[in-house]
């Protein structure tokens, strides 16, 4: 199988290259980057020196015919058009942008600033969260790889959604923390070292792009419209993400913990912890660490969910989806434990 990575010079593209360099049954035959066209992978990223693909050269544009599977690590609008072209060429696409994640086409104008011209492809696209949509991913031609915040949050909520324990009367409040790499590999004043060091702040408090993505999946699974009160924060670490979820619900602590165990007991990449989740313990892995507790006084289930935003929140989850499509074990090339300390 020949694999292409579009936008391979960004953080998610580099993470894909790191993981796929150990993948035995594929060959990466094209990588693109307009900024680094003509340069080799090791020229741009010296960390890849002596890797399998160290001399692979960045191209400016994709050839739509010479690869079998295309990973797109591009801005949303670029992916919007490219997915259509690749789909028409009969290719398998794993899109790491948000261009095909949300089924409601009208949302894109409000949250992303562009009209979605291919609503029929939104129906074809499968949301690439394996723990929920594994069976559909197996035969998908378009996999819409989830966002990092939605991955952490939806996995934290899924046992409650799956067992029909959420409805319009349950308030769901999510506070999430992300490392700076979640903003991408580009210059911005807020993310410069003097601005970000020893600093923490919330952003897009009332209208974050990932809110409709989460609500769309919840509605798709539960058939109910449930609002998420979502507040994201930037913290001064390079990678890692923690989502703290508060759900107003009446349930015993014992039943709550059993619910999560029963839901995730056969999921390799979900690790239920006996203490609140810690970002350091998932860095560089495809694991999602979840901790569940219950506030008896206030009738609130409290769930913490930790992932690496570049891995389970993006690239390693994309490889997990690839494994499903190729009928491989889902942990193939993803068995590594986190670096610690």
Q: Supply the residues annotated as catalytic.
A: 148
CB 7 within 8 A of CB 70: no
Q: How far apart are CA 36 and CA 178, in angstroms?
A: 28
The label of the residue with tokens 């197996």 reads 138
Long-range contacts of 130-133 (CB under 8 A, 24+ apart): 130/317, 130/320, 130/321, 130/324, 130/330, 131/155, 131/158, 131/264, 131/267, 131/269, 131/270, 132/158, 132/217, 132/221
Q: How far apart are CA 332 and CA 26, in angstroms?
A: 13
Residues 6+ apart with CB under 8 A from 149: 176, 178, 208, 210, 214, 230, 232, 241, 243, 313
- State which H helix or E strand residue 332 sits in: none
Instruction: Show the tokens assigned to 18.
Output: 């790191």
- Dihedral in degrees, nearest 10, Cα atoms 130, 332, 179, 306: 60
Residue 37 backbone phi and psi in degrees, to 5: -55, 130
Specify burial of residue 10 (Cβ count, 10 A radius: 0-12, 13-18, 19+).
Answer: buried
Residue 150 backbone phi and psi in degrees, to 5: -60, -35
């Amino acid at each position: 199988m020949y694999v292409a990575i579009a936008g391979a010079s960004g953080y998610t593209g580099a993470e894909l290259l790191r993981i796929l360099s150990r993948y035995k049954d594929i060959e990466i035959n094209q990588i693109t980057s307009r900024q680094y066209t003509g340069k080799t992978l090791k020229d741009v990223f010296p960390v890849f020196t002596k890797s399998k693909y160290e001399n692979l050269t960045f191209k400016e544009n994709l050839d739509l015919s010479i690869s079998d599977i295309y990973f797109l690590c591009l801005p949303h609008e670029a992916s919007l058009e490219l997915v259509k072209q690749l789909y028409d060429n009969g290719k398998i696409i794993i899109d790491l942008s948000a261009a095909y994640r949300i089924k409601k086409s009208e949302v894109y104008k409000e949250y992303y600033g562009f009209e979605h011209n291919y609503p029929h492809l939104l129906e074809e696209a499968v949301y690439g969260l394996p723990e929920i949509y594994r069976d559909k991913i197996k035969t998908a031609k378009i996999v819409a790889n989830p966002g990092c915040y939605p991955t952490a949050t939806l996995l934290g909520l899924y046992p409650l959604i799956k067992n029909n324990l959420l409805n319009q009367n349950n308030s769901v409040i999510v506070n999430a923390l992300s490392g700076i790499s979640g903003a991408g590999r580009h210059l911005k004043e807020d993310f410069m070292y003097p601005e970000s060091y020893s600093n923490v702040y919330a952003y897009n408090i009332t209208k974050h792009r990932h809110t409709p993505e989460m609500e769309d999946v919840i509605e798709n699974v539960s058939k109910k419209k449930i609002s998420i009160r979502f507040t994201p924060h930037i913290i001064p670490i390079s990678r890692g993400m923690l989502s703290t979820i508060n759900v107003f619900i009446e349930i015993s602590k014992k039943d709550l913990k059993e619910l999560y165990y029963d839901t995730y007991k056969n999921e390799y990449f979900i690790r239920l912890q006996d203490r609140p989740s810690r970002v350091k313990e998932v860095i560089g892995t495809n694991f999602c660490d979840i901790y569940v507790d219950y506030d008896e006084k206030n009738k609130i289930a409290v769930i913490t969910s930790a992932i690496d935003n570049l891995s389970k929140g993006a690239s390693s989850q994309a490889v997990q989806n690839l494994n499903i499509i190729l009928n491989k074990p889902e942990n193939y090339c993803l068995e590594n434990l986190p670096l610690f300390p």
